[in-house]
Amino acid sequence: MRTAVLFGPPNTGKSTLFNSLTTKHSNAVNYPGSTVDIYMAPLKLHPSLMLIDAPGIQSLVPQSPEEHLALTTITQLNQRIDADHNIPDLIVCIADITQADRHVAMAKRLIDDGYPVILVLTMLDEAIKQGIDIDTKKLSTALGVQVFKCNAKAPECLKELVECMAQSSGPCGRIIQPKNVHIDDMVTAYEWSRATIRQCQVERQRKATVDLDAWLLHPVAGYFIFLLVMGGLFCFLFYVSAPFMDAIDASFSLLGRVVAPWLPNSLQNFVVNGLLSGVAGVMVFVPQIAMLFFGLGIMESSGFLARSAVLIDHPFRKVGLNGRSFVPLLSGCACAVPAILATRVIPNQRVRRLTMAIIPLMQCSARLPVYGLLLSTLFTSSLAKAMALTGIYVISIFISAVVLAVANRWVPSSRNADAPFIIELPKWRWPDFQGLVRDTFRKTSKFLVGAGPIILGISLGLWGMAEIQINNQPLIYILGHFISPIVQPMGVDWRVGVAILLSFAAREVFVSALAIVHHMSSQSLADSVASTHGLFTPASAVGLVLFFMVAMQCGATVVVLKNEMKSLRWPILILVAYICLAYALAVLANMVL
């Protein structure tokens, strides 16, 4: 199969173009370094051509892991995918038209080296605002390749581009061994590009715009706005999602009442009080999780995240991180797995390792159902619950700082410790709300599809364990009493112990497992547990909150950490250290409170 690679600097619209040209979805947001892996899919209009979306690269001299990955897609393609050649059949160089004097340099360098290239100029809307236009015919003559101006959302533009890609791509026989590019070669290309673009540029009328950076990066107002936005995100999370959560809760209660009479007695308890209430325990938090994805999406697509990284760099440096760690850590509030992959944009290996090590301490969306249940046993008013949940995020930041202070002594210095902190600030954009809603739906569905089978599987497993008898005792009871001495110092009994053990598959399983173990709905669990069953005392509930804040339960996180750290030693060390710390905190809370 013939291959074409979308190649170019970060945040030039490669992923947006990839999504428009193929049926696959690559993450397209407004900050540099959103794509950290390669994605591929055949073209919609020309399925015999495979299109590859590579991470952004600033120059042909790579500085970070994801830039190395991007470079290998044009120099060692058959190491990455099952391709016929090392070199792709076509390189579609993407350049932001408003920054063409720097971005076209990469295309120039590749053309000079003999690669088959076509150049696509993007960000046309931004160019209109800035009064910038480029004569593509002149630029095409200067470069000796075809040049397009393309709006990824305009079908006629895409059709013309695909036709050109189909005609231009052919086996590249010109390069046998790609040569290494030195930074001075790039500097020469920049000089050529700057002079050429000056000749090809057409001046148009510039639209008046407000420079938001003057406020957002202001020495005082910048930090104030940053805190206001972050606080606003969490308020948005709690208050906007509350009516939706109540509606889901009521729907599941109604479903349970409707379904119960139709089921045989043997299944009724399991389905209504176990399975349905377990699923409801997780489903009820879906609006909050969706709001989190939506809020983060607004920050990503507007350009706010990159500014936040700049503001936060100085305090982060005090604990051994840098501003580039901010985006992965914030993504960790949604899910640790993509957040760990997002650390590829950090060139300094030491900072990257430290960032990966504390991502599991960020409070991911899967923990929300657990906190929801535990906080219900501690507080009755929704304001108190919201304050407590905000407190959890604040305490987790404090714990992360302490862990970093300790880890700074352990993690060895890296070869590229002197890599400078330099981050490109994307242009401010209005979020595309239609796209944001679509993305939020996709991510929330992915969460549900991922959690659903685990909850169902564990529910069935638990039911089976309750049915299987050994020496006239249910298997679950035997397992529970085996765990009991371990969890007793935390102030909880074997039933909670079983739920904790099962939550190592995925954190949200804790709620459904607990519901099944107790054969009651998760809502009534929250209401009745504190008063009648004595399952949680206030001290043990606080202890469990601390346990879930710190313990790294998710198996997927461990696997991704192992892959990214290229070692099993560090993930195991982190896993054991966090579980021990979490256990110690839970026991301490139970003893002190």
- Decide: is 390 part of the binding site for another protein (CB under 8 A): no
Per-residue CA distances from 420 to 181, 322, 524 (Å): 21, 10, 54
Q: Which of 34, 58, 349, 590 lies at the binding interface for another protein (CB under 8 A)?
A: 58
- Decide: is 319 part of the binding site for another protein (CB under 8 A): no
Beta-strand relationship, 469-470 and 473-474: antiparallel
425-454: contacts with another protein (CB under 8 A): 425
Is the Cβ of residue 185 or residue 439 nearer to another protein in the bound state?
Answer: 185
Please report how close the Cβ of residue 214 comes to another protein at its closest, in angstroms.
7
Residues contacting another protein: total by CB under 8 A? 40
Q: Which of 234, 236, 421, 504 lies at the binding interface for another protein (CB under 8 A)?
A: 421
How big is the CA angle at 226 (ends 223 and 227), to the nearest 5 degrees? 90
- Pick the piece of the chain touching another protein (CB under 8 A) from 152-160, 216-224, 404-412, 528-536: 216-224
Please report how close the Cβ of residue 404 comes to another protein at its closest, in angstroms.
19
- Decide: is 326 part of the binding site for another protein (CB under 8 A): no
Alpha carbons 400 and 413: distance in angstroms, whole number: 20
Is the Cβ of residue 101 or residue 508 nearer to another protein in the bound state?
Answer: 101
- Decide: is 222 part of the binding site for another protein (CB under 8 A): yes
278, with CB counted inside 10 A (0-12, 13-18, 19+), is: buried
Is the Cβ of residue 287 or residue 328 nearer to another protein in the bound state?
Answer: 328
- Pick the piece of the chain touching another protein (CB under 8 A) from 164-172, 219-227, 350-358, 557-565: 219-227
- Pick the piece of the chain touching another protein (CB under 8 A) from 57-65, 443-451, 467-475, 494-502: 57-65
- Pick the piece of the chain touching another protein (CB under 8 A) from 95-103, 167-175, 481-489, 579-587: 95-103
- Decide: is 109 part of the binding site for another protein (CB under 8 A): no
111-140: contacts with another protein (CB under 8 A): 130, 132
Is the Cβ of residue 45 or residue 61 nearer to another protein in the bound state?
Answer: 61
Q: DSSP assignment, residue 43?
A: B
- Nearest to 579, CA basis, from 413, 389, 312, 360: 360
List CB contacts of 416: < 8 A, sequence separation 6 or more.
Answer: 347, 348, 349
Alpha carbons 243 and 227: distance in angstroms, whole number: 26
Is the Cβ of residue 219 or residue 261 nearer to another protein in the bound state?
Answer: 219
Quote the tokens at residue 421.
């902190």
β-partners of residue 390 are: none
- Nearest to 77, CA basis, from 90, 64, 93: 90
**Given the structure tokens 């089978």, which residue do they identify?**
453
- Pick the piece of the chain touching another protein (CB under 8 A) from 36-44, 160-168, 310-318, 354-362: 310-318
Is the Cβ of residue 34 or residue 322 nearer to another protein in the bound state?
Answer: 322
Quote the tokens at residue 15.
């992923």
Alpha carbons 194 and 117: distance in angstroms, whole number: 19
Per-residue mark of binding to another protein, 176-215 (x: CB under 8 A)? -------x--xx--xx--x----------------x-xx-
Cα 331 to chain center, whole Å? 5
Q: Which of 3, 15, 16, 99 lies at the binding interface for another protein (CB under 8 A)?
A: 99
202: phi then psi, degrees, rounded to nearest 5:
-115, 120
**Given the structure tokens 């009521």, which residue do they identify?**
250
Alpha carbons 26 and 35: distance in angstroms, whole number: 8
Alpha carbons 342 and 347: distance in angstroms, whole number: 12
512-571: contacts with another protein (CB under 8 A): none
Q: What is the largest CA-CA distance in the chain?
A: 89
- Decide: is 310 part of the binding site for another protein (CB under 8 A): yes
β-partners of residue 133 are: 202
Is the Cβ of residue 134 or residue 549 nearer to another protein in the bound state?
Answer: 134
Please report how close the Cβ of residue 106 comes to another protein at its closest, in angstroms.
10
- Decide: is 418 part of the binding site for another protein (CB under 8 A): yes
Is the Cβ of residue 217 or residue 483 nearer to another protein in the bound state?
Answer: 217
Is the Cβ of residue 22 or residue 64 nearer to another protein in the bound state?
Answer: 64
List CB contacts of 162: < 8 A, sequence separation 6 or more.
Answer: 21, 43, 45, 46
Alpha carbons 21 and 41: distance in angstroms, whole number: 9
**Cβ neighbours around 516 below 10 Å, total:** 31
Q: Which of 175, 217, 229, 378 lies at the binding interface for another protein (CB under 8 A)?
A: 217
Q: Which of 323, 431, 491, 571 lies at the binding interface for another protein (CB under 8 A)?
A: 323
Torsion, Cα of 199, 200, 201, 204 (10° steps): 120
Question: Which stretches of the chain bind another protein, using CB under 8 A?
Answer: 58-59, 61, 63, 98-99, 101-102, 130, 132, 183, 186-187, 190-191, 194, 211, 213-214, 217-220, 222, 309-311, 313-314, 317, 323, 347, 418-425
